[in-house]
Structure 1
Amino acid sequence: MMKRFTAFLAAALLGFLLRQLGIPIPYMLGGIVSGFVLRAFLDSSFQWPRSWRGLMLGVAGYGIGSNCTPEAFVNLSQEALGIFGACLFTLAVSVGVAVHMHRHTFANLLSSIMGCLPGGLTAMTVLMDDYEEADENVVVVSQCLRLFVVEVSVPFLAINLFGGEVTRQEGTSLWAASVSDFQSLFHPDWLLVVPLVLAGRFLAKKIHMPTGQLLGPIMVTALFALWQGYVPRVPAPAMAFAQLHIGLYIGTMLDREKLMKTRQLVPNVLLGSLLMVASSAVLSVLLARLYGFTTLTAFLALAPGGIAEMCLTGMEMHQDVAVILTYQLVRVLMLAMGVPFVIRKFFKPSIGKKGGAA
């Protein structure tokens, strides 16, 4: 417990420093970096509890879903072609990267595809249990490295290429902003997060929703926001607390032993991840011109990261989170529902593995 407290404190301090530098999702990035350094260089057995991450995903899901308004969904209903086209383009680029990795490394095609699909960390690590051919080291290392590259490169490009910034109210000092953030914890309205998150998790479990710990609260909160027109925002300290837990969990998924076993993959995964980010940046310019929202919003909507990470970045940069959520959600649903069917078409599940064909 002391190690976890120390890790949490280190992540919080690093996150606070990143916040002063104007970096988006600072506490999540602080958690990722701290968790990776601790596991890779200090204690290879160090882990962050999955259950803690799951609870904090619910808080992040509430924060994301609270940005959905009736007006936003009316506008997005007119963009179906762009949404599905952009998602298919992103998936096509990732498959191209996987084929290149398969041809130039020891990794087989199935493992390469599972390792390169954007936003597929949870879905692919579950799906690989059904296939003897799937190399767990390849899938986990590739997905973690991809996610790590995206979490670092997307905020950098958002600030330096698309002009995004994390802003505080004009004329507000750091101390005054911090006091205001702390005082917001004592306004009870935001505690609506508790019943909505619990209802979302229950519903997601009942209908076997993919990545339900996040998507369940998002969907229930979004529906509640559409019904009421508004739901209270999560206070900044509570959201920072959630970001730290999510980041620490992601950071501790990588360790030095796995990296050494699959070191030949590292250059391919890094270059492939950067290619996916770059292609998203190029497509975002076209999408923004086509539909009229900002290029930064389009970039975050298309970036090959996770729903929570990209939406939280959009929230901190005051972008249209409903747009980001819709594009990211459609891609995740296509990945979780369509990709397993396609993979099963081309690769036969193994009878002997957990969850395999009976």
Structure 2
Amino acid sequence: MKQGNSLRTDLILIAISGLGGFLLSLTGMSIGWMVGTLMTAAFIAMRRPTLFQRKGTSTLRIHSRWLLLGQFILGIELGQKMNMKVLHIFAENWLPVSFMLVFSILLAMLSGFVLWKLSKTDMLTSFVGTAPGGLSAMPGIAQEVGANTAVVSLVQTIRVLMVVLTIPFTVFYLNTKNQADAAVVTQGSAFSSGVFTLSNISWTAALILGAWLMSRLAVRLHFPAPWLIGSMLGVAALQVSAGALMGYDLIPYWPAQANIASQVFLGATIGSKMNKEMFVGLKNTLIVAVVSSAGLIAATVLSSIAIAEITGISVITAILAFSPGGIAEMATTAVTLHEDSTFVVAVQVVRIILVIAMLPPFFRFLHHVWAKRHPDYKAAK
């Protein structure tokens, strides 16, 4: 009974939040489904109506399964786009792309240094909180290395929200300035929905099964955003293998409404994380986090424009690829604007892998140094 009530409450919240997404989508901005849903869910979360509260807490009663489902759907769509094009892009532009990845990480570390110096947040928490590893990965790393998980989640949420609420509007503006080029891109990058036939439906079922199996494996291997990366890799592997064996690409049946559903699920779950208690006693930290995140986003956008000029990559694709907003959020924007979503996901994944592989040892070193200088540090956390 409790399970049914919880599911019903989740569906009501998602439906109401999705209405905000629908209204914003009427402006003609396709990413409006996610942005509008996110803003509506955040407003509901701030108001904290009794209907949506978990028992004994002030958080919304929405299960994390909806975030995973949104990522899973998006991963299946992205997997259908995987081909050799992204490898050619990396091969042709490996130097500027590699430079931009390292530069974005250094910018994030500079943002963490500013947060540490200008707020009461400790050194370790400041650097972990601003690391561009994604909202799904960094809180777990924070707990592992001994940082304040609550503050890390807050700073990561602030940056993701700022990116999601600014980058889509920025790229939408850039996209509408050159509608002729956008129309050309749309023809080459829109997802094929296929025809509703038995063979196409069968291939769709095979892709979903492959996506589920690979996602389960990614969870066991502790991948960041495992249901997104796992489903994407599973579908991509099946698509490439089948294409090599058959000599042509198999087209699944995939309705356009699936992308809308993924945007609504992602927007509702991200927005529902917001509540007033997150900001109690963190006024200075919040201000510094907002300002430093704004500076990080601005520097990333300007650098992405420079990289686009050097490499010939679309400006919108470059901004989405290098923006520190998380895989799912930037990939959703790329899909709905018909940009090179494969390249966006590839760059976002590579950056997160670099962050997760390189920064935890550095964080542990910071933890050791900070604890040595402040003997009461462990007791205070």
TM-score when normalising by structure 1? 0.85
Residues 69, 22 of structure 1: alpha-carbon distance in 2 compared, 3 angstrom cutoff: same
1:341 alignment partner in structure 2: 361
TM superposition shift of 1:164: 6.7
User: Contact 1:64 / 1:308 at 8 angstroms: preserved in 2?
Assistant: no
User: Contact 1:200 / 1:219 at 8 angstroms: preserved in 2?
Assistant: yes
Long gaps (5+) in structure 1: 171-180, 351-358
Could you list the per-position Cα deviations for residues 191-218 of structure 1 after superposition, in whole angstroms to 9, with x for gaps in the alignment? 4442122122122134332331221112
One-letter code of the match for 1:220? G
Determine whether 1:202 maps to 2:216: yes
Describe the SS at the equivalent of 1:18: helix
Residues 137, 152 of structure 1: alpha-carbon distance in 2 compared, 3 angstrom cutoff: same
Could you list the per-position Cα deviations for residues 133-156 of structure 1 after superposition, in whole angstroms to 9, with x for gaps in the alignment? x22332111111111110000011
Could you list the per-position Cα deviations for residues 7-66 of structure 1 after superposition, in whole angstroms to 9, with x for gaps in the alignment? 112122111112111224222223322221122113333132112321331111111222
1:307 alignment partner in structure 2: 327
Residues 87, 169 of structure 1: alpha-carbon distance in 2 compared, 3 angstrom cutoff: closer
Corresponding residue to 2:83 among 66, 69, 72: 69
Determine whether 1:117 maps to 2:117: no
Q: Give the whole-Å Cα distance in 2 for the aligned partners of 1:268 and 1:256.
A: 18
Q: Give the whole-Å Cα distance in 1 for the aligned partners of 2:171 and 2:71.
A: 23
Taking only the aligned residue pairs, the percentage that are identical comes to 22
Following superposition of structure 1 onto structure 2, how do residues 124-135 of structure 1 map, counting pairs within 5 Å? 124-132=138-146, 134-135=147-148
User: Contact 1:83 / 1:330 at 8 angstroms: preserved in 2?
Assistant: no
Q: Give the whole-Å Cα distance in 1 for the aligned partners of 2:242 and 2:340.
A: 19
One-letter code of the match for 2:66? W
2:316 alignment partner in structure 1: 296
Flag the structure with more relative contact order, 1 or 2, with Cα contacts below 8 A and sequence separation at least 6: 1
User: Contact 2:33 / 2:263 at 8 angstroms: preserved in 1?
Assistant: yes
User: Contact 1:58 / 1:217 at 8 angstroms: preserved in 2?
Assistant: yes
1:177 alignment partner in structure 2: none
Corresponding residue to 2:171 among 141, 149, 158: 158
Determine whether 1:54 maps to 2:68: yes
Residues 281, 306 of structure 1: alpha-carbon distance in 2 compared, 3 angstrom cutoff: same
Q: Give the whole-Å Cα distance in 2 for the aligned partners of 1:238 and 1:145.
A: 27
User: Contact 2:134 / 2:327 at 8 angstroms: preserved in 1?
Assistant: no
Following superposition of structure 1 onto structure 2, how do residues 1-358 of structure 1 map, counting pairs within 5 Å? 1=5, 2-43=8-49, 44-132=58-146, 134-161=147-174, 163=176, 188=201, 189-229=203-243, 230=249, 231-232=251-252, 234-348=254-368
TM superposition shift of 1:118: 2.0
One-letter code of the match for 1:8? I
Which of 189-198 and 33-42 deviates more? 189-198
Q: Give the whole-Å Cα distance in 2 for the aligned partners of 1:105 and 1:22.
A: 40
Long gaps (5+) in structure 2: 50-57, 185-192, 244-248, 372-381
TM superposition shift of 1:95: 0.9
User: Contact 1:22 / 1:165 at 8 angstroms: preserved in 2?
Assistant: no
Q: Give the whole-Å Cα distance in 2 for the aligned partners of 1:184 and 1:140.
A: 43
One-letter code of the match for 2:45? R
One-letter code of the match for 1:306? G
Residues 316, 84 of structure 1: alpha-carbon distance in 2 compared, 3 angstrom cutoff: same
RMSD of Structure 2 on Structure 1 (CA): 2.8
Describe the SS at the equivalent of 1:348: helix
Q: Give the whole-Å Cα distance in 1 for the aligned partners of 2:133 and 2:23.
A: 27
Describe the SS at the equivalent of 1:47: coil
Could you list the per-position Cα deviations for residues 273-318 of structure 1 after superposition, in whole angstroms to 9, with x for gaps in the alignment? 2212211211122211222121111111111111111112111111
Q: Give the whole-Å Cα distance in 1 for the aligned partners of 2:176 and 2:285.
A: 33
1:355 alignment partner in structure 2: none
Q: Give the whole-Å Cα distance in 2 for the aligned partners of 1:28 and 1:166.
A: 22
One-letter code of the match for 2:349? L
Residues 6, 185 of structure 1: alpha-carbon distance in 2 compared, 3 angstrom cutoff: farther
